[in-house]
Structure formats: structure tokens, C-alpha cells
Amino acid sequence: MLVIPAIDILNGKCVRLTQGNFSLAKKYSNNPVQMAKRFTQAGATRIHIVDLDGAKSGKPINFTLIKKTRQSTPAILEIGGGIRNLKTAKTYLDLGIDKIIIGTSVIKNLKLIKNLIDKYGSQRIIIGLDLNKDKIVINGWKKTSQQNYLSLAKKLKKIGTREIICTDISRDGMLSNPNLEPIKKLQALGFWVIISGGIANINTIKKLQTQKFYGAILGKALYENKINFKQAIKLTKTTNNLTKRIIPCLDVKNNQVVKGIKFKKLTFAGDPAELGKKYAEAGADELVFLDITATLEKRKTLCSMVQKIANNIFIPFTVGGGIKSVKDISAVLKAGADKIAINTAGVLNPKLIKQASKKFGSQCIVVAIDTKKVNNDYFVYINSGKTKTKLKVLDWVRQVEKLGAGEILLTAIDRDGTKSGFDNNLLRQICSTVNIPIIASGGAGKLADFKNAIIKGGADAVLAASIFHYNKKTINTLKKYLKKNNINVRI
């Protein structure tokens, strides 16, 4: 379950309301930006921010403060308050805000919600339902709509909404217990529901955790020291704190593992079977094998090599290169692969991704995406990074998710082999756009690069080659480092 600290901004200050009453606002800090930094340092990977002035006025009032907050923390930021048209939404999303919360407009302008989901993806659009009994409260909690929340929720489901923050205003700031009845009803409709209002102490979180709710927003209890945030994080296995995977990659050419820089200047790195066994025994969580010349040479994947490696390892094994059909996938899975990576063939024939996920299950299908930045936009490249397509990477990740991909292996070509660190800005954009795991690839040079890809980029797994092949760092050393930095890894 996610635990998300809240920052409510009123007149430039960090405050908490009681039951939505602005006259009862209590100030806790003069500096919301500093508060966001404190939460980040305490381990927050996601922060909930509401522009209360904006909620009342219907337009952003504390935009400058929110901009400074974005610049001060790598955490995922979700922003609400005064977002009631496409222009305002675009301004926030273009700023780098990961998710926006739409409240009042959900009653007044359902078309806006649909347009935002179609344009930016459902992962970036959260619906805020503030409830008084079963009615929705809008306009900064000043007006009660006669719209029933469940009737509205069913309409929202039809247009692609996934995530809802549900607040019972009678419990907000009261340090009582949350009203779980609407939460469970919304959850039954298939939404990811985040609970807001009534989180009293660590025992409340324990109870919510056992019921497998998606998340909870911590407000007054956090500011009044009723909850220790580090303890809350430790207690809950949040979505962003699931076990992160360390994945060595075997790029294979002419039956040998090779490594280059930006997909060029390839040098010998070892025997595939020997390295695969070595990494499995060293504690790798998974292994990736890419037959990097199969597509260019117009041949099938090296299934005999795949089988040799599979026979000597005991960890999940992903294989890519030269896979063009469902028949090819069957052959590679039969040879011992657990998952298949589809790259060029998926771009040329997107239906393959859908067919494969339907036949073998999305958990088997990884879409590998190689990308470069050209004139401020990231484009998809195919044929081992040699051919630029017209596809923009954000559009492609949305499409492959809809087609049934279970995971994305994202390689920043210009970072590959450079040891300059992962492209965390790109990672963050991708991770906030789709709801499938993202494997970061390209740029690992030091231990901190892995940490930053996870914390700043939001990656679910990190893939690397050179740093392991040439014994710069061991998998065990890396995992101990990540563990020390409060990142959940398997040791």
C-alpha cells in the first residue's frame, strides 16, 4: 500500500483543515517547499499537494510554489486545486508534475476528463472524489452536488479512469478512522482507490494494509506526530517500494557476449553460458539475453544458446532478438526462456504484441524500446538502434501497454555504455505515463546511478552490462548499497 504525505497550501503556507472548513485552518509550516524536501528525505516517493486557494478560486494561485517544489524533489508529485480546464492541466503536466487531480470538473465537465486521459494517459489523471455521505462536494468543499458518487464512478470507468482519491470530509482532520464503505464500493468497480481522511495513527495504517487498499494519504496525523513516516513506510510495502530487480544483460553476437558504447564499438566480454551462470549464482534477480544481430542478419534467435544458458540458471530469463512471430516466441519459450523481448517486430507489426500477450499472457511479454532524443523529443529506434522511426516514445509506451505488454525494457541509446547515468527525466516521464513495470537500461557507471534510476526515475528494475562484465562492481555490492539507501532489494 502506498503511504503518501500531504501538503495543503493556503496563502503560501502549509496548513491542515478540519472537515474542509477553511476558517479552522491550522498552519504547520511557512515553507511548503522545505516540507516536501523533508518528506523526501524521510523516504517519500510520492507527495500529495493541494492548492487550497486554487480550489476556492477555480484557478492556480500557488503555481510558483509548486514549481519550486517540483525543482526541489525527485518524488512523484500529484497536484490538485483549481485545475478546471485543458490549459491549466497542460501547464502543470508540461512543468513535470507527474499526476494531476481533477475534482470539481468531474461534475461540471466530464468531457475534459476524457480528453485528458486520451491525451496524457490514465496514469497521469487522478479523480478526486470528496464526499459528504454519498454526495460529492466541489468548489473547495463549499458546494454539495446532488450527483451520486457511484453513478458518476461508473461513467468515469467507461472513459478510462483508473485512480481515485476518495475523501470523506466528515473524517478529514478528525484523527478518527476512515469511512471504508465508499472505498470498498469504488474498489469493487475496479478502481485503484487512495483513502484520504481519518488516518489516525500507525494502527490505522496496519488495518488498511491488511485489507490491501491501494494507498492512503497522511495529513494531520503526520503533522501532529501521531504517525512516524519512516515507520509507516517500513510497515507498508508500497507500490514504489516493491522489491527492485537487478538485471545483468548479455548482448550476444557470434555466440559471444559483447559490449559497446551507444550500440557501437563492440568488444568481447565473455561466454554467454558462463556469465549467465555466474550472475545467477551472484544474486541477480533476472537475466536478459539479447541476440543483437539476429534481426539485422534476418535469422532466428540462437535457441541452442538460449537452452544452454537456461539449463544453468535458476532465475527468470528474458530473451530477445530475431523474434518476429508467435511461432518464434513458442520456440524460444520452449528453449527455456521465461519471458520474451519484442523490439523491431513490434514496431513493424504492433498486432504481434497483442497476439503474443493473448496467447502466452502479458507476464511473458516484454517490449524493448530503444530511444534517442531528437530536437527535444524522444523517438523510437529499431534495427539495433540503426533506424529512426516517426514514433515518439511516450506515444509508443501508451500503445504497447494497451496492446498487452507486461513490461517495458527502456534503453536510452545515447547513454548506453557511457557510464554517465540513466536518463532519469525520461524514466520519470515513462513511469508516470504507464502502469506496467519499467526496466531502466543505458548509462550505469557507478552505484549511485542505480539508486537514482529507482528513486528519481521511478524504475522498477535496472539493467546493466559493462559494470558487471568487467568486474567494476559486483551484484552483491550493489544490492548492499541500495539496501543501505532504503531501497527494497532481494539479498
- SS3 for 373? strand
Range 269-281 average pLDDT: 89
Q: List beta partners, residue 382.
A: 387
Report the interhelical angle of 326-335 vs 303-310 (nearest 10°): 40
Pairwise pLDDT comparison (117 vs 7), residue with the higher score = 7
Catalytic residue flag (residue 251): yes
Length of the chain: 491
Quickly list DSSP for 131-176: EETTEEEETTTTEEEEEEHHHHHHHHHHTT--EEEEEETTTTTS-S
pLDDT at 239: 39
Q: Are domains 2-241 and 245-484 of this chain identical in fold?
A: yes
Question: What sign has the CA pseudo-torsion 284, 285, 287, 288?
Answer: negative
How far apart, in whole angstroms, are the C-alpha atoms of residue 101 and residue 94?
15
| Selected catalytic residue, list 53, 130, 172, 251 | 251
Over residues 67-94, the pLDDT tens digits come to 999 999 878 899 999 999 999 999 998 8
Over residues 173-229, the pLDDT tens digits come to 777 788 888 888 988 887 889 998 888 889 888 888 777 678 899 988 899 899 889
Over residues 287-317, the pLDDT tens digits come to 999 998 876 777 777 888 998 998 888 889 9
Domains in the chain: boundaries:
2-241, 245-484
Q: How far is CA 346 from the centre of its chain?
A: 22
Radius of gyration of the chain (CA): 24
Contact by Cβ (8 Å): 401, 424: no
| Selected catalytic residue, list 370, 416, 449, 460 | 370
pLDDT at 241: 47
Max avg pLDDT among 131-140, 160-169, 186-195, 449-458: 449-458
C-alpha cell of 5? 504525505
Contact by Cβ (8 Å): 485, 451: yes
Share of the chain above pLDDT 70, in %: 95
| Residue 3: CA count within 13 A, CB half-sphere | 29
Average pLDDT, the chain: 88
Pairwise pLDDT comparison (273 vs 132), residue with the higher score = 273
| pLDDT for residue 101 is more than 70 | yes
pLDDT at 140: 63
Residues near 338 by beta carbon (within 8 Å), at least 6 away in sequence: 316, 317, 318, 364
Quickly list DSSP for 440-485: EES---SHHHHHHHHHTS--SEEEESHHHHTTSS-HHHHHHHHHHT
pLDDT-derived band at 378, boundaries 50, 70, 90: very high
Over residues 229-270, the pLDDT tens digits come to 988 887 775 434 468 999 999 988 888 888 766 655 566 768
pLDDT at 265: 59
What's the CATH number for 245-484? 3.20.20.70
pLDDT at 263: 53
Over residues 381-412, the pLDDT tens digits come to 999 888 999 999 999 999 999 999 999 999 99
Q: Please determine, looking at this structure, whether the domain spanning 2-241 carries the CATH number 3.20.20.70.
A: yes
The burial class, CB within 10 Å (0-12 / 13-18 / 19+), for 334 is: exposed
Range 125-142 average pLDDT: 80
Catalytic residue flag (residue 416): no
